[in-house]
Amino acid sequence: MNQAIRERTKWFMDARFGMFIHWGIYAIPACGEWVMSQREMTNEEYEQYFQEFDPTAYDPKEWAKLAKRAGMKYAVLTAKHHDGFCLFDSALTDYKATNTKAGRDLVREFLDAFRAEGIRVGLYFSLIDWHHPDFPKYGDRHHPMRNQERYKDAQIDFDRYLDFMHGQVKELVTNYGKLDLLWFDFSYDNMRGETWRATELIQMVRKYQPDVVIDNRLEGSGENHGSIATVEPLICSGDFASPEQIIPPEGIIDENGEHIPWELCATMNNHWGYCNFDHEYKPADMLIRKLVECTSKGGNMILNVGPDAKGRIPKESVQILEEIGAWMERNGESIYGCGISEIPKPEWGRYTQNADTIYAHVYEAPLGALPLYGIAPDRLEKVYYLADGSEMTRGEAWNTVLFQDVAFVSLGANPVFTYPLPDPIDTVLKIKI
Ligand code: H79
């Protein structure tokens, strides 16, 4: 990884926790953002949602306040998803929010609202566009009209599509002030890198937004995370790897074994876009532990919400975010600015670290005193219970002789007793060494 990437991703890696927002006219059929493809709809069939779209409850200020309460430090909105519908006022298409009943630029309102809450802002932009006449259909396994004979001999001008796509990205990077992040999605098969004229695209982006943090999906999102994991990445390699719905076992390293920035993107239920029959939400305690896991492996987590057709974030998502926020309010110090610890993972949970401060995330209660595996007794200066700042006492193991190399702490008054843990989700100890 080079110095430029390290510098521009500094805020991003410190932030650790963000909000992904998948929102568009697909919220009306309400079964996820791939509905057009899954139902093999033509543009004519799908455009009914464009006619109907009327998000009267859209209030990005409320979204921003919710993100803030959840402890999220940045947010990324789908300016355009694969269906080609634009939430922003693009001069290059009529297929945009300004031409719906909403009648206004919904991206601009999002940016204003989140910036006002001090939350960094990013935009998701789909490289795929099912609405554009020059985007491939025949033989493209990611197109709704794939393999339809009638498109077999269709003449498309892919360069015309790329001019359009580059033009839209230029609109986003020139018309909306400073953007903190750009999230391109996605490359596949031979549709990657220079097929998108990626170098030219990123050179243009960097001309207007020199510091914007960019994902790695212009080039790839495959096995080796694209060439971002090479020591001198290409200009279009991006700044961070973007594992989707999976946390890499030990973070992500480049060819030199150096850790590179990465961000887990994850759904709360089993869809990105609003889905009115999917109530399989992951509980807040699970998501908190996933965030801790990402942090402990040097990565971020961007957690998705899919607002409904009116513009409301589902109440289940709101509830989960409030619960995460309550934990973050007390324990955020063990996440923000933290990363991989020098001490190996302990059996009862995880360590995160920020400079000389180590945070023990204790998931599993010990029988007696808690052994701080990897920390020798003479190395330990002080230990606090992070949630309330109270100092903890040195614990003792009964079989001291067997455990001379390990510092013990007690969570209670008695040095040999700890049970039960005060926070069943994740009891965080702040350790000064
Ligand atoms: O924007 C979200 C997704 O729409 C997009 N990236 C995230 C952030 C994405 N997820 N997966 N993919 C793109 C790759 C495509 C997966 C597919 Fe499928 C498998 C397409 C068709 C089969 C998933 C399952 C989507 C439809 C069915």
Q: Tell me, what CATH number does 211's domain have?
A: 3.20.20.80
Whether 83 is in the pocket of ligand 1, judged by its Cβ within 6 Å, is no
- Is the same domain home to 170 and 58? yes
Does ligand 1 lie within 6 Å of residue 327's CB atom?
A: no
In short, whether 188's Cβ falls inside 6 Å of ligand 1 is: no
Looking at the structure, tell me whether residues 298 and 369 fall in a common domain: no
Q: From the CA of 286, how far away is ligand 1's center (Å)?
A: 23
Asked if residue 84 is part of any domain, the answer here is yes
Q: For helices 198-208 and 158-175, what crossing angle results, to 10°?
A: 20
Domain final residue pick, 277, 304, 337: 337
Tell me what pLDDT residue 255 has: 87
Cα of 130 from ligand 1 centre, angstroms? 14
Does residue 186 have its Cβ closer than 6 Å to ligand 1? yes
Pocket test for ligand 1, best of 34, 186, 265, 302 (most atoms within 8 A of CB): 34
- Whether 344 is covered by a domain: the verdict is no
Which of 282, 306, 337 is where one domain is finished?
A: 337
378: in domain: yes
Residues 26 and 124 reside in one and the same domain:
yes
Final residue in a domain of this structure, among 304, 337, 370:
337
Q: What is the residue with the minimal CA distance to atom 10 of ligand 1?
A: 244
Buried-exposed string 141-150: b where 16+ CB fall within 10 A, e elsewhere: ebbbbeeeee
pLDDT at 221: 59
Domain co-membership, 92 together with 57: yes
Has residue 342 been placed in a domain?
A: no
393 shares a domain with 261: no
Q: What is the CATH number of the domain that holds 394?
A: 2.60.40.1180
What is the arrangement of strands in the sheet containing 393-394, beginning at the earlier edge strand?
A: 370-372, 407-410, 393-394
pLDDT, residue 225, reads 63
Domain limits at 393?
349-432
Distance CA 260, CA 398 (A): 43
Residue nearest to atom 20 of ligand 1 (CA): 142
Strands of 243-348 (E only): list them: 262-266, 299-305, 339-340
Residues 367 and 258 in one domain: no
Q: Of 133, 64, 132, 50, which Cα lies nearest the Cα of 321?
A: 64
Same domain for 299 and 365, yes or no, is: no
Rounded to two decimals, the ipTM of the complex is: 0.95
132 CA from centroid of ligand 1 (Å): 19
Specify whether 218 is located in the same domain as 281. yes
Q: For residues 266 and 243, what is the distance between their CA atoms, to the nearest angstrom?
A: 9
Instruction: Check whether residue 353 and residue 332 sit in a common domain.
Output: no
Residue with the two structure tokens 């869809």: 271
Question: Do 420 and 292 reside in the same domain of the chain?
Answer: no
Size (the chain), residues: 433
Query: Which region, left, alpha or beta, applies to residue 353 given φ > 0 means left and ψ of -120 to 50 means alpha?
Result: beta
In one-letter notation, the amino acid at residue 313 is I
Q: Is the peptide bond before 186 cis (omega within 30 degrees of 0)?
A: yes
- The pLDDT assigned to 179 comes to 98
Digitized pLDDT (tens) for each residue of the chain, 433 residues in all: 789 999 999 999 999 999 999 999 999 999 999 999 999 999 999 999 999 999 999 999 999 999 999 999 999 999 999 999 999 999 999 999 999 999 999 999 999 999 999 999 999 999 999 999 999 999 999 999 999 999 999 999 999 999 999 999 999 999 999 999 999 999 999 999 999 999 999 999 999 999 999 999 998 755 556 677 777 788 889 999 999 999 999 999 988 899 999 999 999 999 999 999 999 999 999 999 999 999 999 999 999 999 999 999 999 999 999 999 999 999 999 999 999 999 999 999 999 999 999 999 999 999 889 999 999 999 999 999 999 999 988 887 777 777 889 999 988 777 777 788 999 999 999 999 9
Task: Please tell me the residue having the least CA distance from ligand 1 atom 26.
Answer: 34
Cβ atoms of 320 and 283 within 8 Å: the answer is yes
Residue 77 lies in a domain: yes
Kindly state whether residue 343 falls inside one of the protein's structural domains. no
**Beta partners for 303?**
19, 266
Distance 245 CA to ligand 1 centre (A): 11
Cα(383)–Cα(357) distance, integer angstroms? 10
Cα separation of 28 and 21, whole Å? 16
Please report the pLDDT score of residue 229 as a whole number.
Answer: 74
What's the CA gap between 24 and 398, in Å, rounded? 61
Among residues 291, 275, 289, 243, the alpha carbon closest in space to that of 22 is found at 275
The number of folded domains in the chain is 2
Q: Is residue 16 part of a domain?
A: yes
The residues, any chain, with a CB within 8 Å of residue 180's CB and separated by 6 or more, are 11, 12, 74, 120, 121, 122, 212, 213
Name the closest-CA residue to atom 23, ligand 1.
34
Residue 209 counted as domain residue:
yes
Cα–Cα distance measured from residue 352 to residue 340, given in angstroms and rounded to the nearest whole number: 6
Note whether 139 and 180 are same-domain residues: yes
CB distance 265 to ligand 1 below 6 Å: yes
Query: Looking at ligand 1, which residue's alpha carbon is closest to its atom 6?
Result: 185
15 with 114, same domain? yes
Residue 224: per-residue pLDDT: 56
